[in-house]
Amino acid sequence: MLKEVLLGVLTGAVALTIGILLGHFAIDKGSSVPEWVRDASRDVDESIIEKFLAELDTNQLKENLRELTKVPHMATTSGDEATVDFMLKRWQDPNTGLDSAWREDYKVYLSFPNKTITWFQNNSNEKLFHLREKVYKPDQEDPEVVQPFAAYSPAGNVKGKLVYANQGKMSDYELLNRTLDLRGTIAITRYGGEGRSKKAINAAKFGIVGVLVYTEPYDMNDGLVSESETYPHSWYLPPSGVERGSYNTDFGDLLTPYLAAKDDTYRIPKEDITGIPPIPAQPIGFEDAEGLICELDGDDAPDEWQGSLNCIYKLGGPGFKATSTFSNSNVHLDIYNTERLEYSANVMGIIRGSVEPDRYVIYGNHRDSWVHGAIDPSSGTAVMLEITRVLGKMVKEGKWRPRRSIIFGSWGAEEFGLIGSAEYTEEYFSKLSERTVAYINVDISVFANATLRASASPAAQSVIFTASKQVNAPGTTTTVYENWKQYSNRTSPNYGIIPNVGFLTGAGSDYAAFMHYLGITSMDISYYYDRSKTRARIYPAYHTAYDTFDYASTYIDPGFTSHQAVARTAGNVLLRLADSLLLPFNCSDYTESLEQYLSQAVTAFEEKLAAKGISMESLKKAVQIFRDTATKLDRVIRDSDLAKETPLKARQINDQLMLLDRAFLDPLAFPEQYGFRHVIWASRSSSVPTFPGLADAVEKAESTGLKEDWDQAHKHISIVTQAIAGAAHTLDDVI
């Protein structure tokens, strides 16, 4: 009886308390709704976006780039330290800075040149390659301009007869090996078709002892080879220009895989590093390449191996033709690269969120370059600095604060293998996995000035479209969206003709660790060139001493209006991700991409798999389940007025959207691919644009015919099937 009385009293007290609270908030006091309720239901403010877009200034962008490119700033050099100080000064400015900014150092394994000598010799006749690029402007005379080298190539002194191996693909070496003894030779290869390191890794399997890599004018210069037609007279690469680069396949610090490279972190022995050349490698300019390729003996190279140098490309005897000055001579390759541990800094800055500070939108760009790096990466850094200037000013003046926290990252040592961003994700793995909404990458912000280019998780397609519709395309009367659609489009079953958003299937920039390792919805945004007017695989001065402020301001974006268009588009995306009540992601767009991949897989593989007793029906059903649940969630979102409902409902839906890409992670799916855990967008070697593990497994099984390889194909069907079904379940009701 006493228990019942006490229970009744307690119930009455609770009811009375609730009544008092309801009455308190129901009374009109001029501002009857608590501030936290108003904040929790606040959506993106379009007037703030309009103000932000108007404030982004071309002159500021230009001056940012001028300051960033005053000196070469290869990772960990004095020039790099100067850019660290510059970033901190800007982000700690009392009037336009961020809430806080700091540096975070990692002790990482880097490769540097001492000297490199390459020559071909015949008794008393010898000719040295150019050890430096030709000077056309004062920038190229800077003593800190690093000589062309292949980072992580081993030191060594090798010599051998020369052969021409096209792009250094396995198929290229296999073709050569049919008629030539490649043992003890040196191969000359062109950039493209295969990763830098793989050109040497593949070569070593055939007994080749050294590899040269050059930039083919056909691929980069639209065939132009004359000094009078190239920089400084145009945007094309001059004959002595050499593309530097990192010759490794994995990203992150090579000695601390899956661990942040701090002072006391365990480091594997350097002998255990994989994915770097086992033989010496060296990049050269096409001027030097012509002196080699055009003197080669042997059969004509296949038509698809021919290029724009002034001769018919030969395979090599191996070696040079009898009529050459260098007949019977060897090519000598002397590499003196050294490796050492150096401290490399990330510069970090934040704007704290007002409502959901534990939800992060991350915007990043690497800071280091091979030389001055005006386009790669300083065009992206210039854009990031202008975005932070405008947002910082709005925060300092009390005019705006984002709903969610914004983290800005200026990554270090990206050129050596995406090191700064990878170490950051490894150090803060748990926090970033649990709290990050999205990652926006703007590395090279402006390749040229024709049109927007974007690659992204399909979930982020819609917010990029929304942002690009609010920005005017430079030099036109149309929007960035409409301009983009004219240059690159596809037909969508849901929307009709839309701009083509690429997939983030590789590790080309700092989005890799976020997308592939953490499963964070990511995107990469830039301005690009008109592909109908050039064959250039990238802007021609890429990774050379000619990538300077003069080059960028003369030939890439003279008025800095394309920089501004990228700043406006990427910044608009950033604001929407940071301020929208409901995250502007669309899971049905993911459905469309999965169905596209499924269609490709069925067309390419279903019949072959069926012949081995392997069915694709479970995969088809998983994609259908995903469509059904995505459609259901879309309906819930459409039918909800979240501003009038409990904030917990918005938070629930946002978590489902935020964690969608995380649901596709499988840490055991690709044991041989470092850092790749996303089963939809992992890197693939197959040319079939579909689920990467499945495509690579089927192609390997076809080539070997082994039962165990067909079993692996079956396994990858199960992996991708269960990943898609699992992701679908995260979009469904809680129970």
The dihedral through the CA atoms of 560, 363, 642, 726 has a sign that is positive
Residue 657 has pLDDT above 80, yes or no: yes
Lowest mean pLDDT among 15-29, 199-213, 584-598, 715-729: 15-29
How large is the average pLDDT for residues 625-641? 94
CA distance 69 to 146: 15
How large is the average pLDDT for residues 73-79? 98
Domain spanning 114-336: CATH 3.50.30.30 = yes
Residue 447 has pLDDT above 50, yes or no: yes
Kindly compute the dihedral angle of the four CA atoms of residues 671, 672, 673, 679, in this order, to the nearest 10 degrees. -40
As a CATH number, domain 46-110+340-579 is: 3.40.630.10
Which amino acids are annotated catalytic? Answer: 414
Lowest mean pLDDT among 11-15, 124-128, 643-647: 11-15
Residue 684 has pLDDT above 90, yes or no: yes
Q: What does the pLDDT read at residue 30?
A: 47
pLDDT in tens, 461-492: 999 999 999 999 999 999 999 999 999 999 99
Q: What does the pLDDT read at residue 116?
A: 67
Q: Which CATH number does the domain 587-731 belong to among 3.10.20.600, 1.10.3720.10, 1.20.930.40, 3.20.20.70?
A: 1.20.930.40
Of all residues in the chain, the percent with pLDDT exceeding 90 is 88
Lowest mean pLDDT among 188-202, 326-340, 459-473, 552-566: 326-340
**Is residue 362 a contact partner of residue 436, using CB atoms and an 8 Å limit?**
yes
Other Cβ atoms less than 10 A from the Cβ of 712: the count is: 18
Domains 46-110+340-579 and 114-336 agree in fold: no
Mean pLDDT of the chain: 93
Residue 121 has pLDDT above 60, yes or no: no
Supply the pTM of this predicted model: 0.93
Binned at pLDDT 50, 70 and 90, residue 520 comes out as very high
Q: What does the pLDDT read at residue 647?
A: 84
**Helix 561-579 × helix 461-468 angle, to 10°:** 130
How many CA atoms does the CB half-sphere of 263 hold within 13 Å? 2
**Is residue 550 a contact partner of residue 468, using CB atoms and an 8 Å limit?**
no
pLDDT in tens, 175-218: 999 999 999 999 999 999 999 999 999 999 999 999 999 999 99
Q: What does the pLDDT read at residue 41?
A: 81
How large is the average pLDDT for residues 646-672? 94
Q: Where are the domains of the chain?
A: 46-110+340-579, 114-336, 587-731
pLDDT in tens, 353-380: 999 999 999 999 999 999 999 999 999 9
Strand partners, 320: 296
Looking at the chain, the number of H-run helices and the number of E-run strands are 22, 19
Q: What does the pLDDT read at residue 325?
A: 85
Q: What does the pLDDT read at residue 33?
A: 64
Residue 19 has pLDDT above 90, yes or no: no
Locate 682 and state its tokens.
């992992």
CA distance 432 to 409: 13
Q: What is the DSSP string of 325-348?
A: TTTTPEEEEEE--EEEEEEEEEEE
